[in-house]
Amino acid sequence: MDDSPRLLALLRRTARHRGAAIGMFLIAALVLAALLAPFLSPYDPYAQSLDEGLSGPTAAHWFGQDKFGRDVFSRLVHGARLSLAVGIGTVAISLLIGLAAGSMAGFLGGWADRVFTGACDVLLAFPGILLAIGIAAVRGPSFGNVLFALSVLGWVGYARVIRAQVLKVKAMEFVESARAIGAPPSRMLLAHILPNALSPILVEATFGIARAIVAEAGLSFLGLGVAPPAASWGSMIGDGRHFLFVAPHLVTAPGAAILLTVMAFNFVGDGLRDALDTRS
Amino acid sequence: MNRTPLPRLAAFFSLALLAACSQRLPIDEGRLVIALPGTPVSLDPRLATDAYGEQILQMTHAALLRLDAAGNPVPDLASGWESPDPLKYVFTLRSGARFHDGRPLTSADVKFTFDWVLDPANRSPHRAMYRHVRSIDAPDARTVVFRLSEPFAPFLSTMVRGIVPAGSRAGGYAPPAGAGPYRIDDVSPDGAAELSAFDGCLDGPPAIRRVTVKFIPDSNVRFLELRMGSVNFALNGVDPDMLAAAEKTGRLAVEEAAGGNVSYLGFNLRDRALSDPRVRRAIALAIDRDAIVRTIWEERADVVDTILPAGSWARDPDLPKVLPDPFRARRLLDEAGYRDPDGGGPLPRLRLTYKTSQNEVRRRVATVVQEQLRQVGILVEIQSLEWGTFFSDVKKGNFQLYGLTWVGISDPDIYFHAFHSASAPPDGANRGGYANARVDRLTEAARREPSREKRREMYREVQRILARELPVFPLWAGRNLLVRDRRLRGFELTPDESYHAVRDLRIDPPAAGPAPAGTPR
């Protein structure tokens, strides 16, 4: 079965939502910036020119230079890679685990479902960001550790949504008929139930990317994100806040980048939700 | 009828402005407010080891001696001392000394204080410092006799510990009484310590009657409070980048003096790469200390080639300077067998980790060192760790490179402590595992030698050996920076960041009664 016409139709319906259209445009720009970072950034994001530290925006350095004389614009563009990678990576890992756990629990029911629900309740009792801070603090700052710290609890939300969807779809008539004609359980789950249970997950995942980007920025702000000298928007704000009185441009540029990115994903999430809502 | 709210708004804002202008600041009430960048761990002079605790104790607890700006011992509670032989020191106490609670301070209190520190049951962290003391006697109320088990030249510089009344139990935030110019009225660990002048102080009561010591960890907050006037004194509490902004306020003045805190880059000599002196030399040649001092420290530090601060009598002024030379650094790495695998490509010659605390300025230094070493092909991973973890790793030898600062070096015996092969942690500070038989012999002999001239010669030779072998790379001595209200006068900055001189501070012009409302300040 070819899903691309359905996907295109969905995108078109989403783009009718004005906010979502702006969001999609921003995300496309961001993805382009991330992909083309080495060509877009006028300077090496790590190269220091110490004597030019804290210079404000100029024609040569559009967003100014940080304490080490590094070009803020180049670091911002490279930071986009990192933010997107963390956002998409975290959601992908969480989704994979959540999809497997949630669909099995919903499909099998019985004791498997009870164990799953109990485990979810226990895991959701942990404050997510505190656990992530704890993990990052123990394991040290690195890209892999950020992904790990954010995915450890990140999957639980997806798993619960999937389980609820699977339970709902499982009781529908077309699934009953598939069972009646003797379809094996694996085929019922993969071919009939899951494809019809995915829409809410798509919305959830879009918001999830935004949440992961904010969480990464938070961890990096605290010095627990990626290791220096890697450019992360959060660590740029974390380093820049010490110069709030002398070089406010160091926090405004990455701050605006985080704001726009998170806003874009949330707008698209809203649009998707409306587009997938069968009542509308 | 005019219904616009403008006139009313204007009146409101004028009144608010008037109220703001007439708001009385602590200094108008004759109160000194000091900002410390952290909370003291203990305020008992027998137990405190942290800088913040020691700094408060310098205002509240008098000692037998204290150190002057050049690091020489001068009388405090003792009127004088003599040493008939290198194993015996006799101190005579000044008459009339009293504790804050009115009890007279006698030689029995001095004996009690040091006996308490030496008693293993009390687990004082200062015990190792007095391990040469064999016995303490108090033959009369004003005489104390210390007998040593072996000659120990730096002995006098250890007599700066605050004296507490005989029989005092260990106290953390409820410390035993002292005999210093201020008494501690109240301490709240997450807020501030309130001190008030002690009229019975030997040197007369201090001019400023009330002192608040606020514990403010965030440098931005410290700066804002100084700017607003709710803090009026901060020693090394404002980042170098903010000093210009501080001076611009008109209310604040910045003073600067040579500092005694020397930063250095530590190497682990047990590491295969770093055990090679050529690799250590190459790292030293790759680092441009002048550029770091100029940009990260805003010129508020001095490059050093030994770990002794500038004013020290034992310092060798003719040590060879290490000047940055990336070309020679690469050649040395080639010679040591760390060739560039891809000729200027992204692959490094060598990978090292650099551990540092989370102190903001130290993290910035690490970032610059990382980039400067990348230029010669050494890929450095920075691990910026919480202080407890970091210091424990350093003491355990769990590092390749680390950046740290020696605080308050007062005697060149530091060379025994930091470089003698037997000075491994926890009792010593030879964290990199350095061993050199000549340095061992010299540092042992120097601490037994009573003649300062002969000690100087020995320490100069030690410094020359260390400059050649580079078991650590000395970086710079940070200057002491005082940001204070312009009206505060009389404080003498010393290299060891001493707060003793707080007692000499006065407010000029003096704080009078209630200020007339609306007086612009």
Same-domain status, B284 and B397: yes
Contacts of A250 in chain B (CB under 8 A): none
d(CA B367, CA B502): 36
Same-domain status, B365 and B290: yes
Flag if B296 and A241 touch (Cβ within 8 Å): no
Looking at residue B513, the DSSP 8-state letter turns out to be S
Orientation angle between helical segments A249-276 and A4-15, nearest 10 degrees: 120
Range in A152-156, B227-231, B343-347 the model is least confident about: B343-347
**Alpha carbon of A94: minimum distance to chain B alpha carbons (Å):** 28
Flag if B220 and A223 touch (Cβ within 8 Å): no
Angle at B261 between CA B396 and CA B243, to 5 degrees: 125
Whether B1 shows a pLDDT value over 80: the answer reads no
Closest by alpha carbon to B500, among B408, B404, B405?
B408
Is A199 within 8 Å of chain B by CB?
Answer: no
d(CA B403, CA B414): 18
Which tens digit of pLDDT belongs to each residue from B117-136?
999 999 888 888 898 999 99
Check residue B159 and give its pLDDT: 95
Same-domain status, B270 and B372: yes
Same-domain status, B133 and B232: no
Of B220, B223, B367, the CB nearest to A228: B367
**Count of the separate structural domains present in chain B:** 3
Is B241 within 8 Å of chain A by CB?
Answer: yes
Flag if A137 and B245 touch (Cβ within 8 Å): no
d(CA B449, CA A273): 83
Per-residue H/E/C for B190-227? CCEEEEEECCCCCCCCCCCCEEEEEECCCHHHHHHHHH
Check residue B51 and give its pLDDT: 80
3-state secondary structure of B165: coil
Here the tokens at position A69 are 């004389």
Is B247 within 8 Å of chain A by CB?
Answer: no
Flag if B370 and A67 touch (Cβ within 8 Å): no
Pairing of strands B210-215, B31-36: parallel
Check residue B325 and give its pLDDT: 97
Share of chain B above pLDDT 90, in %: 67
In A, residues 240-269, which contact B (CB 8 Å cutoff)? 241-246
The residue that leads in pLDDT, A136 or B325, is: B325
Closest by alpha carbon to A160, among A125, A194, A124?
A124
Same-domain status, B474 and B490: no
Which tens digit of pLDDT belongs to each residue from B375-399?
999 999 998 887 778 888 998 999 9
**Cβ neighbours of residue A84 closer than 8 Å, sequence gap 6 or more:** A30, A31, A34, A213
Same-domain status, B132 and B193: no
Contacts of A241 in chain B (CB under 8 A): 220
Check residue B384 and give its pLDDT: 83
Domain region containing B350: 262-478
Q: How many CB atoms lie within 10 A of CB A58?
A: 11
Residue of A52, A242, A250 best to disrupt the B interface, most CBs of B under 10 A: A242
Flag if A68 and B374 touch (Cβ within 8 Å): no
Closest CA in chain A for residue B354 = A228
Overall fold of domain A4-276: MetI-like fold (1.10.3720)
Closest by alpha carbon to A218, among A233, A208, A239, A204?
A233
Contacts of B367 in chain A (CB under 8 A): 68, 228-229
Angle at A160 between CA A156 and CA A162, to 5 degrees: 115
The DSSP string of B7-73 is HHHHHHHHHHHHHHHHPPPGGGGTEEEEEESS--S---TTT--SHHHHHHHHHH--BSEEE-TTS-E
Check residue B48 and give its pLDDT: 85
Contacts of A47 in chain B (CB under 8 A): 371
Closest CA in chain A for residue B384 = A223
Closest CA in chain B for residue A239 = B360
The mean per-residue pLDDT over the stretch B162-172 comes to 90
Is B95 within 8 Å of chain A by CB?
Answer: no
Per DSSP, helices labelled H in A192-248 are 194-197, 199-221, 233-240
Contacts of B386 in chain A (CB under 8 A): 137
Q: Could you tell me if residue B168 is inside a domain?
A: no
Angle at B250 between CA B247 and CA B253, to 5 degrees: 50
Tell me the whole-structure pTM to 2 decimals.
0.80
d(CA B352, CA B117): 41
Same-domain status, B403 and B444: yes
The mean per-residue pLDDT over the stretch B74-90 comes to 94
Q: Could you tell me if residue B48 is inside a domain?
A: no
Flag if B294 and A51 touch (Cβ within 8 Å): yes
Contacts of B371 in chain A (CB under 8 A): 46-48, 68, 229
CATH of the domain at B75: 3.90.76.10
Tell me phi and psi for residue B183, to 5 degrees: -110, 150
d(CA B197, CA B185): 10
Is A228 within 8 Å of chain B by CB?
Answer: yes
Which tens digit of pLDDT belongs to each residue from B490-513?
998 888 888 999 999 999 887 654
Check residue B40 and give its pLDDT: 86
Per DSSP, helices labelled H in A125-193 are 128-139, 143-170, 173-180, 185-187
Check residue B16 and give its pLDDT: 59
Check residue B518 and give its pLDDT: 39
Closest CA in chain A for residue B224 = A245
| Half-sphere exposure (Cβ direction) of A105: Cα atoms closer than 13 Å | 23
Range in A35-49, B67-81, B129-143, B190-204 the model is least confident about: B67-81
- List the beta strands (DSSP E) in B225-374: 233-235, 252-267, 301-303, 350-356
Which uninterrupted H or E stretch holds B75? Answer: strand B73-75
Q: Which amino acid is at B128?
A: A
**Residue B252 and residue B246 in contact, taking contact as beta carbons nearer than 8 Å:** yes
Is B363 within 8 Å of chain A by CB?
Answer: yes
Which tens digit of pLDDT belongs to each residue from A61-81?
999 999 999 999 999 999 999
Q: How many CB atoms lie within 10 A of CB A113?
A: 17
The mean per-residue pLDDT over the stretch B201-216 comes to 94
Is B382 within 8 Å of chain A by CB?
Answer: yes
Flag if A46 and B371 touch (Cβ within 8 Å): yes
Flag if B239 and A245 touch (Cβ within 8 Å): no
Same-domain status, B322 and B345: yes
Q: Could you tell me if residue B394 is inside a domain?
A: yes
Flag if B371 and A223 touch (Cβ within 8 Å): no
Q: Could you tell me if residue B231 is inside a domain?
A: yes
Closest CA in chain B for residue A69 = B295
d(CA B52, CA B50): 6
Closest by alpha carbon to A211, among A247, A265, A140?
A265
The DSSP string of B302-315 is EE-SSSS-TT-TT-
Q: What is the pLDDT along chain A (280 residues), one digit of tens a residue?
A: 455 677 788 888 888 888 999 999 999 999 999 999 999 999 999 999 999 989 999 999 999 999 999 999 999 999 999 999 999 999 999 999 999 999 999 999 899 999 999 999 999 888 888 888 888 888 878 889 899 999 999 999 999 999 999 999 988 888 888 888 888 888 888 888 888 888 889 899 999 999 999 999 999 888 888 888 888 899 899 889 888 878 999 999 999 999 999 999 999 999 998 888 755 4
The DSSP string of B442-491 is HHHHHHH---HHHHHHHHHHHHHHHHHH-SEEEEEEEEEEEEEETTEE-P
Same-domain status, B299 and B437: yes
Q: Could you tell me if residue B212 is inside a domain?
A: yes
**Alpha carbon of A63: minimum distance to chain B alpha carbons (Å):** 20
d(CA A79, CA A76): 5
Residue of A43, A51, A65, A68 best to disrupt the B interface, most CBs of B under 10 A: A68
Q: Could you tell me if residue B165 is inside a domain?
A: no
Of A54, A137, A229, the CB nearest to B371: A229
Flag if B241 and A47 touch (Cβ within 8 Å): no
**Cβ neighbours of residue B143 closer than 8 Å, sequence gap 6 or more:** B90, B91, B92, B93, B107
Q: Could you tell me if residue B469 is inside a domain?
A: yes
Same-domain status, B413 and B472: yes
Domain boundaries, chain A: 4-276
Flag if B219 and A68 touch (Cβ within 8 Å): no
The mean per-residue pLDDT over the stretch B96-108 comes to 95
Q: How many CB atoms lie within 10 A of CB B84?
A: 9
Gap between the terminal Cα atoms of chain B: 39
Which uninterrupted H or E stretch holds A10? Answer: helix A4-15
**Residue B387 and residue B379 in contact, taking contact as beta carbons nearer than 8 Å:** no
Same-domain status, B249 and B272: no
Which tens digit of pLDDT belongs to each residue from B415-437?
999 999 999 887 788 999 999 99
Of A51, A67, A140, the CB nearest to B383: A140
Whether B519 shows a pLDDT value over 50: the answer reads no
d(CA B193, CA B187): 4
Is B295 within 8 Å of chain A by CB?
Answer: yes
Flag if A244 and B219 touch (Cβ within 8 Å): no
Flag if B374 and A46 touch (Cβ within 8 Å): yes
ipTM given for this complex: 0.77
Flag if A242 and B239 touch (Cβ within 8 Å): yes
Same-domain status, B310 and B414: yes
Pairing of strands B350-356, B401-406: parallel
The residue that leads in pLDDT, B77 or B48, is: B77
Is A48 within 8 Å of chain B by CB?
Answer: yes
The residue that leads in pLDDT, A141 or B213, is: B213
CATH of the domain at B282: 3.10.105.10
d(CA B459, CA A152): 56
CATH of the domain at B485: 3.40.190.10
Is A137 within 8 Å of chain B by CB?
Answer: yes
Is B379 within 8 Å of chain A by CB?
Answer: no
Flag if B364 and A67 touch (Cβ within 8 Å): yes
Check residue B511 and give its pLDDT: 65
- B22 band by pLDDT with thresholds 50, 70 and 90: low
The mean per-residue pLDDT over the stretch B48-64 comes to 90
Contacts of A141 in chain B (CB under 8 A): 383-384
Flag if A68 and B241 touch (Cβ within 8 Å): no
